Amino acid sequence: MITNFKGKTAVLTGAGSGFGLECARIGAQLGMNLVLVDVQQDALDQACAEMVAAGAEVLSFRLDVANAEQMQAMSQAVFERFGAPHFVFNNAGVGSGGLVWENTVRDWEWVLGVNLWGVIHGVRLFTPMMLDAAAKDPSWQGHIVNTASMAGLLNPPNMGVYNVSKHAVVSLSETLYQDLRLVSDQVGASVLCPYFVPTGISQSHRNRPAALDVEKPTRSQLVGQAMTDKAVGSGKVTAADVAQKVFDAMAADQFYIFSHPKALGNVQSRMQCIVQQVNPTDPFAERPEIGRDLKAALRGA
């Protein structure tokens, strides 16, 4: 929980666009020190310039969140400049589609590297710092927010690698919440599970390592990309709306953060299947035309 953000420090990965950028904007308005982390230099430079113009103290790092050494160096630099951060937003993420058996080892390593290992590094590097600061000052408050997805609570077909990465982030976050509760009342945790929100996630291939482009995309990967583009692009909830929900959740010590609470009906259906030990339901029951189109596209009809 954080009840007063002024003068506090935020570390934001994926800060060059989407939720990271919008949280940086709110942080700047609230008088926070900002540590902006992104793999895309031009987007990072633009975000830094905007936050400095807004009057924020800014430290920026172009790095790959999957890289343990780069994350270690960044965390040390943050500590030396600002001390333990109060808000850590492990948010950097990439999208990936296609039938689960069609992804290469490199695809798996890239998506799990960013979506899961990026969060693992943020948690393992900053949590000890935050707990140490809390132990030294009874009034110190901190909060870690990890970006997962509704795909971390559901299993939409043709998105297997992404689903796996986001389910792992939900599990990590829930465990982090419980572990923190064992040792401190001053450091909280939340998991952000957005549905389709217009961000840069559907254009993740812009930061895809060149080594991964040796293989031509399969039919299912091309279909998955087209469906994601359409769904993300048509989202009515904005990244700025979601960023405000993140700050509201920290102030209220709320763990689950949803961009589209109405989608929880699908989560409930999944849980009922598990508890009742029945086979998974049709994911397209509410939108059968999407299921028909996907099947036809994959079967070449």
How many CB atoms sit inside 10 A of residue 138's CB? 8
Indicate if the alpha-carbon torsion angle 254, 258, 259, 261 is positive or negative: negative
Who has greater pLDDT, 230 or 280?
280
Q: Is 162 a catalytic residue?
A: yes
Assess contact for 60 and 44: CB atoms under 8 A.
yes
Q: Find the farthest-apart pair of alpha carbons in the chain and give their distance in angstroms, rounded.
A: 65
Who has greater pLDDT, 237 or 72?
72
Residue of 162, 177, 195, 256 marked catalytic: 162
pLDDT in tens, 86-101: 999 999 999 989 999 9
**What pLDDT score was predicted for residue 212?**
66
Who has greater pLDDT, 115 or 230?
115
Structural domains of the chain ordered from first start: 9-263 (3.40.50.720)
pLDDT in tens, 35-64: 999 999 999 999 999 999 999 999 999 999
pLDDT in tens, 198-248: 765 545 455 666 666 657 889 888 988 887 777 766 678 999 999 999 999
| 3-class secondary-structure state, position 141 | coil
Buried/exposed code over 180-207 (b: 16+ C-beta within 10 A; e: otherwise): beeebebbbbbbbbbbbbbbbbbbbeeb
**What pLDDT score was predicted for residue 109?**
97
pLDDT in tens, 252-273: 999 999 999 998 999 999 999 9
For 145, phi then psi, to 5°, come to -120, 125
Q: Which residues pair with 90 in a beta bridge?
A: 146
Calculate mean pLDDT across residues 135-150: 98
| 3-class secondary-structure state, position 114 | helix
Whether the per-residue pLDDT at 301 is higher than 60: the answer is no
pLDDT in tens, 17-35: 999 999 999 999 999 999 9
**What pLDDT score was predicted for residue 202?**
47
**What pLDDT score was predicted for residue 203?**
58
pLDDT-based confidence at residue 300 (cuts at 50, 70, 90) = confident
- Rounded Cα–Cα distance for residues 92 and 115 (Å): 7
| 3-class secondary-structure state, position 206 | helix
**What pLDDT score was predicted for residue 204?**
47
Please, what is the average pLDDT of the chain? Answer: 93
Amino acid making up residue 210: A
Amino acid making up residue 62: R
Who has greater pLDDT, 40 or 284?
40
Whether the per-residue pLDDT at 193 is higher than 60: the answer is yes
